[in-house]
Structure 1
Amino acid sequence: MIIVPVKEGENIEKALKKFKRKFEKTGVVKELRRRQQFDKPSVLKRLKMEHAVYVQQLRANEE
């Protein structure tokens, strides 16, 4: 459960913005969207490899 403490006199829009940020960080919506569609294990493996190559290239460019 997400709890957003609201200070006295604080704007409600500001509190909503805090709530949205905390909710986004939990990853609930992202997980829900991921579960709506089945991906074959081979596709997941390929995506994981592509991501690893991408990260490796980024790190190589940093140095």
Structure 2
Amino acid sequence: MKKKDIRKNELYIFPVSLQPQILKGGINYFMLIIDSKDCENIDKALKKYKKKFEKSKTLLQLRERQHFTKSSVKSRTQRLKAIYRQQIASGKIEL
């Protein structure tokens, strides 16, 4: 990264456990940018980091990549979930 890219009041955190994402333009590394104020506590910055990390769903992607599931199995589970949701909405199944 160039010095011009890094702003003074931002924390750049690179999660080590994640592999680089390969996109059309080349390899892009996953990076979370957290805006922090000068007087802000590090605990607040960590809390913001945890929220952003959960919203990015990178941990879910990591767990999905641990084992391979065929596309036919994925589509079958999606269909079964959709049927289940429709049955709940129509009132055939009560929770």
TM-score of the superposed pair, with normalisation by structure 2: 0.53
Q: Which residue is equivalent to 2:35? A: 5
CA distance in structure 1 between the aligned counterparts of 2:43 and 2:87, rounded to whole angstroms: 41
Structure 1 residues 15, 57: CA separation in 2 closer, same or farther (over 3 Å shift)?
A: farther
1:16 has 2:46 as partner:
yes
**Equivalent residue pairs, number:** 61
Determine what percentage of the aligned residue pairs are the same residue: 48
1:45 has 2:66 as partner:
no
CA distance in structure 2 between the aligned counterparts of 1:41 and 1:4, rounded to whole angstroms: 36
Equivalent residue of 1:50, what SS?
A: helix
Q: Which residue is equivalent to 2:10? A: none
Q: Which residue is equivalent to 1:54? A: 84
User: Going by fraction, where is strand more abundant, 1 or 2?
Assistant: 2
Q: Which residue is equivalent to 1:32? A: 62
Higher relative contact order (CA 8 A, sep 6+): 1
Amino acid paired to 1:56: Q
TM-score of the superposed pair, with normalisation by structure 1: 0.73
Amino acid paired to 1:39: T
Q: Deviations over 1:16-45 (max 9, x none)?
A: 010111112112221111011011233212
CA RMSD of aligned residues (A): 1.8
